[in-house]
Amino acid sequence: MTHSIQPSPVTRSEEPISFLGPIFGAHIERLGLLRVVVGGGSMYLYIPFMIFVHTTFALLVYQGLLRPLLGTPRVRWRDHVIIDRQRIDGLTWFDKFNCMFCGYANGVCTMMNRELDLVSRAAAPAWWKWPLLLPALLAFALLELIGEIPIQLIFNVLISRPLGMQRYSIPAAHHTLRRHAYGRDLPVLLRVPLFIAKNHTLRFAMALEQIESSWCPLRHFERRQGIIYPEHHRKFFGPEQVRAMYDLLRQTGSVSQRRTGDEPHQPIAYD
């Protein structure tokens, strides 16, 4: 049965003043209206991009092309994309919308990272698969070029600068992958596009991590075997701690203590 989660009491006189709700108002108190409107409003430019990524990369390229050719396991989107926090009482309609968006975006990104990691550990494909695999890799590379636009323009310029968020550079992500010898056993024609895709996805994960840590730092409450959440959720507040979440956002703006050069967290699974 669907039910709501009761939060700790919120005193109206203590809430930051904003017609869009306490979270939006908390950031206005710290940063000012203009910076929050530009930075916070730009986040919603990600919505069509996330739908595009989900339908093309996750469903078409990986599930439809790469997985059958490489023999990698199926990745279930329902284990990664969890949308449940809108059921928490004490949130405004705008807070609930942000939580639904963060759940979808971070879930798709976690799913993408999982799919890339499975490809990185796949056995080298048989020679007769390459005529089919090469067009898939070409489409894969094209999607990655398109995917750089939201990172370089939307996050690095429109979101991170006004809101004071940290950026994870291409060289930093490259260094991380080289240090872990990512995909080293794959043929070069497969390793290169995979390396580029993972570089992009690591940086995208860090961007979404900071957005969620500022605009919906509430833990999911759904628990079942196979479900996977981003690791940064460990720092989030429980559904009964809405009051404490508002207070922290008013003071510091985020549960994240990320510094320039920090690497994105790994996902966590609940059995």
Q: Which helix (H) or strand (E) holds 227?
A: strand 227-229
Q: What are the residue boundaries of the structural domains of the chain, listed by start?
A: 12-270
What secondary structure letter does DSSP report for 88?
Answer: B
Q: Per residue in 66-108, pLDDT tens?
A: 888 899 998 888 999 999 999 988 888 888 999 999 999 999 9
Reported as a pLDDT band with limits 50, 70 and 90, residue 193 is confident
Q: Per residue in 127-183, pLDDT tens?
A: 888 888 888 787 777 777 777 888 888 999 999 999 999 888 899 999 999 998 998
pLDDT for residue 237 is more than 90: yes
Look up residue 167 and give its two tokens. Answer: 């950026």
Per DSSP, the residues of 89-144 read TT--HHHHHHHHHHHHHHHHHHHHHHHHHHHHTSPPPPGGGHHHHHHHHHHHHHHH
Return the higher-pLDDT residue of 271 and 206: 206
Mean pLDDT of 7-15: 41
